[in-house]
Amino acid sequence: MKHILKGAEPQVFTNWKSLANEDWQPTYSVLSGDTKRVVKEALMAEQCHICCYCERRLSEDDSHIEHFRPQSDPVVDPLDFGNLLCSCQVQVKKGEPRHCGNLKEDWFDPDLLVSPVDSSCEERFVFEGDGLIKPAAEQDAAAAETIKKLGLDIPKLNSLRRKVIEPFLDDRLSNEEFQAFVSGYLDKDTAGRFGEFWTTIRYLFGGIVAA
C-alpha cells in the first residue's frame, strides 16, 4: 500500500458543488460527465496511476472512485474529496476474483483498516520474493485484517507481484546495472506514473539504492 498525499480537490468539482440551490443539491449519485471524469483523473494523478490498495496500474476502464469511509455511513460527506480514492476493478468478469475496493464494498472499521492516506501505511506490510504480502508485525491486527478484507493476498495479486519481482532477480545484471534498474523503477516515469507494486520493489530492493 503506497502512501497517498491528498491534494486539493479540482476547481471544476468545487464549482459544481457551489451550484447548490433550493431546487438542486449536489450528490454523489448525480456526479457525472466531465466533472466526474476530472475528479477521477485528479485521484489517479495524485496516486501516480496505481491502485490505492494493491498498487496495480490504474486504467480508465478498470478502475472506480472509491469512498474510503463508505458513503452509506450517515456521518460521511460522499462529496468530500479527502475521502475519495481510486481503486482498481469495476465490474468483475465471471470467474475473476474480487479484491480492493470491489471486495471491501461498505466494510469499514477505523481500528482494523489501514488507510493509504496514513503516512505510516507503507511500513505496515512486508513482501516476500514469491509475491506474498504479510503484516510487518505479527501483532498488527489492522494490517492482517486489511490484507483479508481487501484480498491483497489472493493468488492473482501474489502472481502479479511475483512477475514484477522476477526481472530484479536476473543475476546477469552487474551491481551498477542493478542499482540503476531499481532506481529507475522507483522513480516516476515521464507521465508521472509509479511502477506497479511500488512498495513491493522498494521493500525488497530499495536498500540497494540507498546503500
pLDDT of residue 86: 98
> Which residue in the block uniquely carries the three cell numbers 496500474?
57
Average pLDDT in the 43-51 region?
A: 98
- Is this structure's pTM higher than 0.75? yes
pLDDT at residue 196 above 90?
yes
- With cut-offs at 50, 70 and 90, classify the pLDDT of residue 93: confident
Average pLDDT in the 23-40 region?
A: 97
Average pLDDT in the 104-124 region?
A: 97
* Residue 12 identity (one-letter amino acid): V
- With cut-offs at 50, 70 and 90, classify the pLDDT of residue 85: very high
Average pLDDT in the 35-46 region?
A: 98
What distance in Å separates the CA atoms of residue 120 and residue 49, rounded to the nearest whole number? 20
Helices (H) and strands (E) in the chain, counts: 7, 4
Q: Are 59 and 73 in contact (CB under 8 A)?
A: no
